[in-house]
Structure 1
Amino acid sequence: MVNPFMLNPAVSGTEDYTDIRLGFRKQWVNFEGAPRTMYLSAHTALGKSRVTNNRSKNKKNGFHGVGAIISNDVIGPTKNTTIDLAYSYHLQFAKNLYASLGIMGGLQQYSLNANMLHTANPDDALLVSSTNTSLADINTGFWIYSDKFFVGGSMVQVMPQKLYNAREGAISSGKLSQHYFITAGYRFPIGYDFALIPSFCVKAVAPAPISYDINAKLRYKDFLWAGVSYRNTDAIAFLAGVIINNTWDISYGYDYTTSDIRLYSAGSHEIVVGYRLKPKNRIICPSHFW
């Protein structure tokens, strides 16, 4: 809800400014080995100022988006560090209707600290020593958007690469799995100052069951917002954010866990700090942030 660029490279370049965000999430507090995520992302548009004035009779010129993400995920004994660069191309189909295709590529560094594991067989050949693997990372996506709605879809880890080969006695080799995301939302104005933005996100990765988020955000101007989110079989999240001087924005989310893990954890916390780097000598319209 706060940074869709993390899930979809086609989002790069959708704003009138360079969007820089630093995020931290600690999931399932007090639960041993719980996930922890940190990231730094940035994206901007190239040539967007020319799209409405430089067009032929039958074709509306597009513009480009570029971006980058550095992220670090730690889950128990595993750590995954990723550095990605993103590119997207945007076309304007109507005055306030755009569509984009995006691709993101880079490098993943996956590591497994075997010393943190307690195995039934102390001589397990697969876990005799720590594992460090470098893998290519490729993600793709599309994004259809206006100042009233957005619809997007993406595939993450397009290449299902192997982390390690199957050893003797192992059931299968370890590999990265393809993840699929579908997102959509709509902005309903409430008077002049308020807007209600319902949205959803569907997530799929085999062999796990399909997961989905149902969200609602109430926004006051380009200044303040609060929201709630329901994730099936997992959590209810409460979120809020503030935009300071149309430049800085700070968002916070707390997940109240509804699954059995709630017996052992104190929920999840996430904070995102954003900075809007505005181009010089250009008038920036209020952001229709989601």
Structure 2
Amino acid sequence: MRRTFITVILCLIGSSLFAQQDAQTSMYFFNPLQYNPGYAGSRDALNITGVSRAQWIGWDGAPNSQFLSIHAPVVRQNLGVGANIAYDKIGSRSGFNAMVNVAYHMRLNKDDMRLSLGLSGGIQQYGYNFSGLVVTDPNDPSYTNSFTQTKANFGFGAYLYAKKFYAGLSVPRLIKRSIDNNSGNSYLQRHLYLTGGYVFELNSVLDLKPSVLIKYTGSGPLIADLNMSAHLYKKIWVGALYRTTDCAGVNASYQLTNYCMVGYAFDFPLNGKMLNQWGTHEFVLSFDIRGKNNAIQSPRYF
């Protein structure tokens, strides 16, 4: 099993890394700052969100990702600032991103629809550690020299939102960086994200929220995450996810208090070749910290 998985991983990272390189999450709607700097400061609170994702449980070297973001409004809530970090490991490859974000929020109408334009800047670190691999030729120089590279990058995002609606467009890392220590044929691709969602308030018990996250790279397939969530009694979220390339899943969250939310998602593969594993598990914990004069009046959907 270990040899099989390592072979698959080496094939994936040896083909110029054409596929999606940014670590993905199924509960993307709880941590938009991960991919859109325009989200910074949009919740009218100091928000702290952590996400942990373990993919393809049962496979050695399977992807494992952690995310942490913090952001808040400042200067009469017209400006938002924040920071986010992400760590991702798959097989011999690991990646670490640390970005700071700033966003300017403009009120567009009396219904409190706002447009936010955000910028981010920080570092990307990618590395390969081949010490744990079992290879046919231990002396092959391709697998004897582990290395790590750290480079600066920048991002941009636009975020349009109101109480029941949001839409976003972003490129979180604008600069295409080489991550091949030898030939220079492998690059960190630019990722374009398009997202949107709407809340239908059906009655005092039930709200429905469809949402979508579309991800695109110039040399990879377009991937869409389609999610439908039901919000019960303003406390409980239950939802279903379909990802166009490879999986489906379910998710749920519970509003423990006005300022604390916990969530869980389970993904299962739709590819028959991936059925010999225990799926993907994801956990989220989020806090909205508000002052006494800014207490929450109604649930925040985004």
The alignment's TM-score, normalised by the length of structure 1, stands at: 0.88
1:39–1:174 CA distance, 2 compared to 1 (3 A):
same
> 2:199 touches 2:301 (CA, 8 Å); kept in 1?
no
* Counterpart mapping for 1:75-86 below 5 A: 75-86=90-101
User: Match for 1:79: what amino acid?
Assistant: S
Counterpart in the other structure of 1:232: 244
- Counterpart residue number, 2:14: none
Q: Give 1:27 deviation, angstroms.
A: 0.7
Kindly report structure 1 stretches of 4+ aligned residues shifted beyond 6 Å.
none
1:223–1:246 contact (8 Å) kept in structure 2: no
Name the residue aligned to 1:281: 293
Native 8 Å contact 1:230 1:237 kept in 2: yes
Equivalent position of 2:213 in the other structure: 201
Aligned partner of 1:215 in structure 2 is 227
**Distance in 2 between residues matched to 1:43 and 1:287, nearest whole Å:** 18
| 8 Å Cα contact 1:41-1:68 kept in structure 2 | yes
Gapped runs of 5+ residues in structure 1? 50-62
Structure 1: which amino acid aligns with 2:99? D
Q: Are 2:22 and 1:7 aligned?
A: no
Inter-partner Cα distance in structure 1 for 2:285 and 2:33: 14
In 2, Cα distance between equivalents of 1:283 and 1:113:
48
- Return the alpha-carbon distance in structure 2 between the equivalents of residues 200 and 48 of structure 1: 31
1:52-201 aligned within 5 A: 63-95=78-110, 96-119=112-135, 122-167=138-183, 173-201=185-213
Q: Which runs of 5+ in 2 are unaligned?
A: 1-28
Is the 8 Å Cα contact of residues 178 and 188 (structure 2) preserved in structure 1? yes
Q: TM-score, normalised by structure 2?
A: 0.85
Q: Does 280-289 or 153-162 show the bigger shift? A: 280-289
> Displacement of 1:220 after TM fit?
2.3
Letter in 2 for 1:39: F
1:158-184 deviation line (CA, Å, top 9, x unaligned) = 1111123544xxxx5222111111111
1:125-167 CA distance string (max 9 Å, x none): 3433211111113221111110111111111321111123544
- Structure-1 residue corresponding to 2:47: 19
Q: Is the 8 A contact 1:16 1:284 kept in 2?
A: no
Give the letter aligned to residue 75 of structure 1. I
Q: Who is 1:32 aligned against?
A: 60
Amino acid at match of 1:275: F
Root-mean-square deviation over aligned CA pairs: 1.7
Shift of the 116–137 alpha-carbon distance from structure 1 to 2, 3 Å rule, reads: farther
Deviation of the 1:288 alpha carbon: 2.4
Distance in 2, matches of 1:27 and 1:47, equals 40
Matching residue's letter, 1:7? Y
Shift of 1:122: 4.1
CA distance in 1, matches of 2:187, 2:88: 17
How many residue pairs were aligned? Answer: 273
By percentage of residues, which structure has more strand? 1
Share of identical aligned residues, percent?
29
- How far 1:194 sits from its partner (Å)? 2.1
What do residues 26-55 of structure 1 show as CA deviations (whole Å, max 9, x unaligned)?
011112321100121111111345xxxxxx
Cα deviations by residue, 1:224-265 (Å, 9 ceiling, x for unpaired): 111111001311110000111211100100001112343222
**1:54 paired residue number:** none
